[in-house]
Amino acid sequence: MVAATRADAGGVALVISSLSMGGAQRALTTLADGWRRRGRPVAVVVLGSRDPTPFFPLSEGVRLVGLDACEPSGGTLDALRKNAHRVSRLRAALRAIAPDAVVSFMDQTNVAAILASRGLPAAVVVAERTDPDRRRLPAVWEGLRAITYPHADAIVVQTEAVRRRVAERWGAPVTVIPNPVAAPPADARPARAASAAAGTIVSAGRLEPAKGFDVLLDAFATIATRHPGWSLAIWGEGPERAELEERRDRLGLAGRAEFRGTYRSPAEAFADADLFVLASRREGFPNALCEAMAWGLPVVAADCASGPAEIVTAGFDGVLVPPEDPAALARSMEALVARPERRAELAARARGIADRLSLERVLERWNETLAAARERRARRGLL
């Protein structure tokens, strides 16, 4: 265990609605483990279950608290009552944990965390995981967010583009902290001769409209007949799976495009792939794109709002294409399929993301943010 310094030794309570599969859940468990290994007391508070089982495992020593406080509501009055109950349960848990800082993840949970922490000594930091201009909440929640967010001691976002928009909307200080990316073991991806004749294109994400898998299938169908040795593997689950499978079959891609379900480690998805493609319509911060780059894959990414352009340097360590443009995506995919030497160049540079976004660097930024939030809380007379 790495000893915590005086600046980062205070306890942290991480709050989230569930620990199911997802980018926010992966980021939270990575931070929790990183802080705990460095000697910092860490508790994870889960609103939605009394006995949560994390999809991404937590290390020994992380305290796990389940509240079972996310019951479905039966109308506006019932929703208000249950939200009040949720805030009360969370407040009691935070009193018992007595952390120096509360870090909450995702919009509605952030509102509950701010309300539950009012008058408590812990600094409150809320993490926005998407672009709030492109993910609109129901009117009541938009109103609550507008009222509560200015009372946070810091707001953390993942990209500079979102930081500018959030800073214009709410008064709390806003900091950009990307998700950490782990470098794979040196022998995790064995060297092999790149080929233009055969290979696997891989993509990953929740199967929902925002991720643009329909666009990806259309683009792959454009080039599939010219490159019969290439296949497409899509990792993830979600509400669009049946519709996407039907689309694949209509495009004549049965046997060429496979939906592989969820993966628990990057090795499962990327160790045997040759090209990664992100076709999203919008993003918060695409973890799969970062992981693929760290694993030494050349990448083609849709230049959608909030994310890819702050991760990929176009033409240097990856390729950016216009979003929702199957023809442009197909051209860029085919250009790399046909040129293994270009894939190798991009892949070699892409690996640098594991250094830029290492856990050490990201934790340092979080520690600085938490220390500043504590100071801000003190100046406001809440400590």
Residue 364 has a pLDDT of 97
- CA–CA dist 72, 65 (Å, integer): 20
Edge-first strand order for the sheet with 199-204 is 257-261, 230-235, 199-204, 275-278, 299-302, 319-321
- CA–CA dist 256, 220 (Å, integer): 10
Instruction: Say which CATH topology domain 199-356 has.
Output: Rossmann fold (3.40.50)
Domain assignments of the chain as residue spans, ordered by start: 6-179+358-379, 199-356
Asked whether the beta carbons of 146 and 159 are under 8 A apart, the reply is no
Mean pLDDT of 241-259: 98
Question: Which of 79-83, 162-166, 264-268, 321-325 comes out lowest in average pLDDT?
Answer: 79-83
Instruction: Say which CATH topology domain 6-179+358-379 has.
Output: Rossmann fold (3.40.50)
Decide which of 6 and 186 is more confident.
Answer: 186
Percent of the chain whose predicted confidence (pLDDT) is above 90: 73
Q: Which residue has the tokens 């599969």?
A: 21
Q: How far from the centroid of its chain's Cα atoms is residue 228's Cα?
A: 34
Residues with Cβ within 8 Å of residue 37, at least 6 apart in sequence: 1, 2, 59
Structure tokens at 124: 């409150």
Residues with Cβ within 8 Å of residue 104, at least 6 apart in sequence: 14, 15, 16, 110, 112, 113, 114, 124, 125, 126, 127
Per-residue pLDDT band at 134 (split at 50, 70, 90): confident
159-168: per-residue pLDDT in tens?
Answer: 998 998 898 8
Residue 167 has a pLDDT of 87
Q: HSE of 84 in the Cβ direction (CA atoms, 13 Å)?
A: 6
- CA–CA dist 121, 101 (Å, integer): 8
349-383: per-residue pLDDT in tens?
Answer: 999 999 999 999 999 999 999 999 999 988 876 54
Angle between helix axes 213-224 and 326-337 (nearest 10 degrees) is 50
98-110: per-residue pLDDT in tens?
Answer: 999 999 999 999 9
| DSSP codes of every residue in 247-280 | HHHHTT-TTTEEEEE--SSHHHHHTT-SEEEE--
Mean pLDDT of 49-63: 89
Residue at 79: amino acid letter: A
Per-residue pLDDT band at 200 (split at 50, 70, 90): very high
Asked whether the beta carbons of 227 and 253 are under 8 A apart, the reply is no
Decide which of 193 and 195 is more confident.
Answer: 195
- CA–CA dist 103, 96 (Å, integer): 16
Q: How far from the centroid of its chain's Cα atoms is residue 382's Cα?
A: 31
Residue 116 has a pLDDT of 97
Residue 1 pLDDT greater than 60, yes or no = no
Residue 74 has a pLDDT of 63
| DSSP codes of every residue in 286-354 | -HHHHHHHHTT--EEEE--BSSGGGT--BTTTBEEE-TT-HHHHHHHHHHHHT-HHHHHHHHHHHTTHH
Residue 202 parent element (H or E) = strand 199-204
Residue 232 pLDDT greater than 50, yes or no = yes
Strands 63-66 and 319-321: what pairing? unpaired
Per-residue pLDDT band at 191 (split at 50, 70, 90): low
Residue 73 has a pLDDT of 63
Residue 383 has a pLDDT of 47
Structure tokens at 315: 């033409």
Residue 2 pLDDT greater than 60, yes or no = no
Residue 7 has a pLDDT of 45
Average pLDDT over the chain reads 91
Q: HSE of 51 in the Cβ direction (CA atoms, 13 Å)?
A: 0
Question: Which of 46-50, 220-224, 324-328 comes out lowest in average pLDDT?
Answer: 46-50
Asked if domains 6-179+358-379 and 199-356 share a fold, the reply is yes
Residue 233 pLDDT greater than 80, yes or no = yes
Residue 138 has a pLDDT of 85
Mean pLDDT of 120-125: 96
The radius of gyration of the chain from alpha carbons, rounded to an integer in Å, stands at: 22
Task: Please state, as a whole number, how many other Cβ atoms lie within 10 Å of the Cβ of residue 36.
Answer: 20
Residue 43 pLDDT greater than 90, yes or no = yes
**Dihedrals phi, psi of 342, to nearest 5 degrees:** -70, -40
